[in-house]
Amino acid sequence: MPRYLSLIRIDEQNTPAEGPSPELMERMGALLEEVTKAGVMLDTAGLTPTSEGTRVTWSGGKLSYTDGPFTESKEVIGGYAIMQCKDKAEALEWTKRFLQIHEDFWTVTAEVREIAEG
C-alpha cells in the first residue's frame, strides 16, 4: 500500500499564544487513536517553532546557515503525518478529518503527497 505525507502548515504569527485548547487536544487524541487503530498512521508529530530551527542552504557550491525565526515565512510547517492508505482519496479523507477538528479561528493547511518508493 502506498504511503502519504501530510504536511501541516500553519500561520505561526496567528496561532493562540496559549497553544491548542484542551478540547482540541482531546479531539486530536481521539482522532489519532482512531487512525492508529485503523492501521493507517505510521508516524505523526508537531514541530517546535521556527525560532528554534535552522535553515541550511546549498547555493553556488557553498553551504549557508540561517537561524530562525524566519520572518519572511507567513506559513510554516507545524507538523506532519505519515500514513499508509489504500489510495490518495483515503489519505485526503483522514487529512480532512484532522483539519475539521480545529476551532474556526485556526487557519491550517495540509499538503498531501504520496511518498515515492524505490
Q: Give me the tens of pLDDT residue by residue for the chain, a chain 118 residues long.
A: 999 999 999 988 888 888 889 999 999 999 999 999 999 999 999 999 889 999 999 999 999 999 988 777 778 899 999 999 999 999 999 999 999 999 998 999 999 999 998 7
> Quick check: 54 and 66 in contact, CB under 8 A?
yes
pTM for the full predicted model:
0.87
What is the rounded distance in angstroms from the CA atom of residue 10 to the CA atom of residue 20?
12
Give residue 73's pLDDT.
Answer: 72
Position 98: which residue type?
Answer: F
Give residue 118's pLDDT.
Answer: 78
Q: What angle do CA 43, 75, 51 make, to 5 degrees?
A: 80
Query: Which grid cell sits at 25?
Result: 487536544
